[in-house]
Structure 1
Amino acid sequence: MKIYRLHEIQKLPISKEKAWEFLSSPENLKTITPDYMGFDILSGADRPMFAGQIIQYIVTPILGIKTKWVTEITHVKDGEYFVDEQRFGPYALWHHKHFIKEIDGGVEMEDIIDYKVPLGFLGQLVHPILVKPKLTEIFNYRKQKLEALFGTY
């Protein structure tokens, strides 16, 4: 069983409060997801983030295949971090930690995602040519979108 990790850091010239307000609102996930992914929230994003919150989405990650994705917000420390875990969806495991810390002139946002692809050995073969490049593309899009919204550090 191979578990992969994606680790991204981005600095933005905004206050910690503004970063938290944006990132902790589940509705804003659509804003920082590429349009071609057909990201739609079905339920669970109607209130501010809290531990135990279940959010259901429809997403089209590859080949135009619509997939239901259900995540649970498992941990929240206001203004500092939150964790979402996939309960149902395209991955065999998805554990995503979001950290926000104040730095001189802005904030540093850190994403640590531990994930496992489905389909065992076949999934591991596909990972470097399909899954990893797609995740990298999505996070590059997020970086660009956040810079367009808030400026560059």
Structure 2
Amino acid sequence: MKTYPLRFETFLPTTIDNAWDFFTSPLNLVKITPPEMNFIVTSDFKPDDKVYAGMIITYKVSPLFGIKLNWMTEITQVKEKQYFIDEQRFGPFALWHHQHHFKEAKGGVMMTDILNYAIPYGPIGRLANSLIVAKQVNEIFAYRERVIGEMFGSK
């Protein structure tokens, strides 16, 4: 299985408390996902719920041609105000391992996303990645960076 590693860094001109509070709320995923993906959190969360190890989050998402897919991730690790990790348990990927790291920096917080993913279906999946998926994943993170910049105020 071919895996694809990606790394994204975003500077947030805010406190570690504000950054952690925002990104550990499962309901805020909708705010930082491109609208055309029709991303809906289907788990029953309250606005003040925060991630914890073992938390299951379910979604509906339409990544291609408006086709709705179910997706389930588990928060596997959390170290308060430092990082959390989500892993796909059911969904469109053969592997989805996403680390969210937060580190205080001069004037704010450096947020680093480390993503490793794989596409199912062998050679067909590798072709789909090169033609569609890699571009789409990068566009999702570019969108997130723009929206996060607007929300937290870019420097």
Kindly provide the CA deviation profile for residues 88-110 of structure 1, in whole angstroms up to 9, marking residues without a partner as x: 00000000000000000000000
Asked if the contact 1:32–1:142 (Cα under 8 Å) also holds between the matched residues in 2, the reply is yes
RMSD of aligned residue pairs (Cα, Å): 0.9
Asked if the contact 1:44–1:56 (Cα under 8 Å) also holds between the matched residues in 2, the reply is no
Match in the other structure for 2:28: 28
Task: Give matches, 1:76-91, under 5 Å.
Answer: 76-91=78-93
Match in the other structure for 2:112: 110
Selected match of 1:92 from 85, 94, 114: 94
Identity of paired residues, percent? 47
1:45 deviation in Å?
3.3
Structure 2, gaps ≥5 residues long: none
Query: In the alignment, is residue 39 of structure 1 matched against residue 39 of structure 2?
Result: yes
TM-score, with structure 1 as normaliser? 0.97
1:44 deviation in Å?
5.0
Amino acid at match of 1:17: D
Match in the other structure for 1:16: 16
Structure 1, gaps ≥5 residues long: none
Amino acid at match of 1:106: G
1:118 deviation in Å?
1.1
Matches of 1:60 and 1:7, distance apart in 2: 23
Kindly provide the CA deviation profile for residues 88-140 of structure 1, in whole angstroms up to 9, marking residues without a partner as x: 00000000000000000000000001010011110001111100000011000
Task: Give matches, 1:38-77, under 5 Å.
Answer: 38-46=38-46, 47-77=49-79
TM-score, with structure 2 as normaliser? 0.96
